[in-house]
Amino acid sequence: MRDIKTTARLAGLFSLLTILGGGFAQGYVSNRLVDFNSAARTATNILSHGRLLHLGFAVYMFEMACQIAATALFYELFKPVNRSLNLVSAFLSLAGCTIKAFSRVFFLAPLLVLGYGSPYLNVFSPEQLQSLSLLLLGINDRGAAMAMIFFGFATPLRGYLMFRSTFLPRFLGVLSMVSGLGWLTFLYPPFGYRLFPLTAGLGLIASAAVILWLLIKGVDEARWREQAARVER
């Protein structure tokens, strides 16, 4: 209540860090190491760049920590609009964060599988271990896609809260609702993967608009207090 503009700017900052962290871990680390068309090449990349894989895992965890923080801050920000929908949106987002964070265990697991010197792995041939490693990376990828479904439910609700708020411009709410619905394409993964470039592009545009507004303009504090006061009566 005392400094809601700071809350809004922090929500924008943690959202920005989420995007930057995810973009680095996926675009630079994962795409550089993982080749889903070749288990042998992927295994060679991982064994040659084990530290890079560890770095990618650390950044993935940082990404999820930032997204959880942003979820909590958005929950505080939209309390005056509709507490029930705000709570539902926050829990759906947290569910997506939980699934996505847990799926990253499978991103790191190939380092254990490819440790050829471990006695318990001697029953497998190198080719089998390479295939198993790629399978684990595929589970990581599918787990992250499953998390997007929950974000696909949470983000339009948050967009609706933006639209109904009196302290943020309505166009930001519309952008969030439209972009968030795109993540629901992962309810049928083949369709979601096919449309991912379009969905990710819309999501990036909407997120950039919201983040820039929050970081530069913040919120209309007087209107936020006015809306909060009406809820408390």
* Distance between CA atoms of residues 183 and 94, nearest Å: 16
Q: What angle do CA 137, 139, 141 make, to 5 degrees?
A: 70
The residue ranges of every structural domain in the chain are: 4-223
Inter-residue contact 14 to 206 (CB < 8 Å): no
Query: What pLDDT does residue 228 have?
Result: 84
Distance spanning both ends of the chain, measured CA to CA? 15
Cα separations (Å) of 153 from 74, 159, 161? 15, 10, 13
Query: What pLDDT does residue 231 have?
Result: 73
Query: What pLDDT does residue 2 have?
Result: 57
Among residues 137, 142, 129, the alpha carbon closest in space to that of 108 is found at 137
Mean pLDDT by 10 residues, the chain (233 residues): 84 97 94 94 93 95 97 96 95 97 95 76 86 95 94 96 94 94 92 91 94 94 87 67
